[in-house]
Structure 1
Amino acid sequence: MWGRKIARGLILDVLGSFAEPQAGIHILNGHRIALKNPCEEIFHSQLRKLEKLVRFIRFEDAVELIISKVVVSEPLVAFSFDDGFEECHSMIAPVLEDFNINAAFFINPNFVSGNREYIDYFTNNVVKTPGKLPMSWEQIKDLHNRGHVIGAHTLDHYNINDDNIEELEHQIGECRTVVEQHIGVPCDYFAFPFGRLEHANSHSIDIAVRHYPYVFSQSDYKNYFSFGGRVINRRHFEPDWPIIHLNYFLNTEKKY
């Protein structure tokens, strides 16, 4: 596995050296600053380099442009983060605010409210990020008050490629109810866990679009939409990625 990862990095180093971001509306979706030794400077450095190549915009503005099928003449970049790790509040949001932008933070309510046993199982076995801790509800509401978007990500980071309608309703619909109870405003945004198109199906997307005006994947980034125009696609990144890797992934003509 490490050999493939190293080879992939070397290939991206070469390809990214000759790439530059193309005009389009790009939603970059991350999870954490770094698996080990996270610090704000990692993300600050990435954004300082990236802002020379693109224009940052607010998450809601990016969504509105995509929904309206606006064609833009420059690369516009917005951000979202899944899973709701504590560093979203302590490190990621402050860096974004230094650049006068926000992000959408998609959270799993049972991770937020879980006991130590649940949290350890979630990070070790579900999202594979050992040692990470969740934000508290107080921190999540603080992010909302500071202008960030709070979205839903199922109660338990549940793989919604499932035919159990009752469980899908619970994981997707109840997630909205719990988030709204805690932050006190409508939760209109939902990103399905794991993010690839094979991690959802027509049943689960039917339920998601009934509960939320806006639904997101983390896949098929060359196209703005998937699932017949009902799902908005984002592009995976992490704040510790080299800028030339981002250049490669932003070097694409996006299609409606």
Structure 2
Amino acid sequence: MLNTLIHLTGQRVIFPFYHVVSNQKIPHISPLYRVKTVEAFKKDLEYLLRFYQPMDLKDVMDFLASGKQQSKPGFFLTFDDGLRPIFDVVRPILLEYGIPAAFFINPDFVDNKSMFFRYKAAILMDKLQPYSSIQTTALVNTLQIKDIKGFLLGIGYKQRHQLSKIAEIMEVDFAQYLKEVQPYMTLQEIRQLCQDGFYIGGHSLNHPLYSDINIEEQLSQTQASLTYIHHHIQSDYRIFAFPFTEYGVQAAFFKSAEADIFFGTAGLKNDPEPRLLHRIPMEIKGQSAQKILQSQYLYYAAKSLVGKNTIRR
């Protein structure tokens, strides 16, 4: 079926992306979404390899510049957030399969100096799970919030300071968590990925939702993360993946932002910005690559019928 959909839509190049792969419960992620196991991830890769040929960054740049494609449909794999299981779990699997990939990092989190605010919320949600009804009621009364989990999930970038206040009440020490769990890769590990032939890109400094910040801060976050990578990795390319989503980023941003390629998260979509490639999220409610990709192609085909498979800016 997938071959037919690829032929029908003409979408022969795709950009699947993940965050992490693990067989273990991850307190800073598991409350947010289901993490792919090693077995599930390998099945995804094997399915991709049945229908697509792995691409490296040069192939992607050639595709972007001239539409040049390989004889077989291609895919370029990417991972966001620079989490430690990338090095411990994903890296050996990709080396085994011979699949190139790019990893997008947030400089503020490298070496476990700090943590993404959504991961802090997840840690607090995880801490709530063993709470008794009496403990939960006491916390609700203290915070004067009826739906604590809903409140934690609703905290945005500009309200992130509230998480530290709640953590203090719940006796959660984020600094200790960073020290003991070390959720992020170190700079040394990131450099090793480069030596292995993988690519490193920017993902903003500290992972804001770009629609929540003004264009000046969008540009500052983007360029600072790219400058960090250029300084520490000495890469001759500049690639950037928007944190959360590119939704809300206006055309004016792309006129000033300096990068070879931008990566979004809108799935199988076209975009008027020639340097922006949209990626397919692969961590959807435990679904397999087969189900995710078939759904993406069917949705793209349906949108094509009414001329709505291109994003407007």
Normalised to the residue count of structure 2, the TM-score between the two structures is: 0.63
Aligned residue number for residue 12 of structure 1: none
Amino acid at match of 2:235: V
Q: How do 1:144-159 residues align onto structure 2 when only pairs under 5 Å count?
A: 144-159=194-209
Q: Distance in 2 between matches of 1:46 and 1:86?
A: 20
1:163/1:203 contact within 8 Å kept: no
Aligned residue number for residue 85 of structure 1: 83
> Structure 1 residues 201, 98: closer, same or farther in 2, change over 3 A?
same
Aligned residue number for residue 169 of structure 1: 219
Structure exhibiting the larger radius of gyration computed from Cα positions: 2
2:237/2:260 contact within 8 Å kept: no
> Structure 1 residues 107, 26: closer, same or farther in 2, change over 3 A?
same
Amino acid at match of 1:201: Q
Q: Which runs of 4+ in 1 moved over 4 A?
A: 18-21, 34-39, 126-132, 252-256
Structure 2: stretches of 5+ with no match in the other structure: 26-35, 127-180
Aligned residue number for residue 279 of structure 2: 234
> Structure 1 residues 238, 120: closer, same or farther in 2, change over 3 A?
closer
Q: Distance in 1 between matches of 2:122 and 2:255?
A: 24
Aligned residue number for residue 213 of structure 1: 260
Q: Distance in 2 between matches of 1:30 and 1:40?
A: 13
Q: Distance in 1 between matches of 2:125 and 2:91?
A: 19
1:22/1:74 contact within 8 Å kept: no
Structure 1: stretches of 5+ with no match in the other structure: 1-17
Aligned residue number for residue 3 of structure 1: none
Of 56, 60, 63 in structure 2, the residue corresponding to residue 62 of structure 1 is 60
Task: Answer yes or no: is 1:160 the counterpart of 2:210.
Answer: yes
How much does 1:165 deviate?
4.3
Q: How do 1:1-256 residues align onto structure 2 when only pairs under 5 Å count?
A: 19-20=2-3, 22-23=6-7, 24-34=12-22, 36-37=24-25, 40-70=38-68, 74-115=72-113, 118-119=114-115, 121=117, 123-125=119-121, 133-161=183-211, 164-195=214-245, 197-208=246-257, 211-223=258-270, 226-238=271-283, 241-249=287-295, 251=297
Kindly indicate which of the two structures has a greater share of residues assigned to helix.
Answer: 2
Normalised to the residue count of structure 1, the TM-score between the two structures is: 0.76
2:112/2:186 contact within 8 Å kept: no
Amino acid at match of 1:200: V
How much does 1:191 deviate?
1.1
How much does 1:120 deviate?
6.7
Q: Distance in 1 between matches of 2:216 and 2:123?
A: 24
Q: Distance in 1 between matches of 2:188 and 2:95?
A: 19
How much does 1:181 deviate?
1.9
Q: Distance in 2 between matches of 1:88 and 1:129?
A: 23
Instruction: Name the Cα RMSD after superposition.
Output: 3.3
Q: Distance in 1 between matches of 2:117 and 2:49?
A: 37
1:200-229, CA deviations, whole angstroms, 9 ceiling, x for partnerless residues? Answer: 223433332xx2121111115232xx2432
Q: Distance in 1 between matches of 2:125 and 2:101?
A: 21
**SS of residue paired to 1:190:** strand
How much does 1:184 deviate?
2.5
**SS of residue paired to 1:81:** strand
How much does 1:61 deviate?
1.3
> Structure 1 residues 55, 222: closer, same or farther in 2, change over 3 A?
same
1:85-106, CA deviations, whole angstroms, 9 ceiling, x for partnerless residues? Answer: 1111111122112121210101
2:22/2:89 contact within 8 Å kept: no
Structure number with higher relative contact order (C-alpha < 8 Å, ≥ 6 residues apart): 1
Amino acid at match of 1:31: H
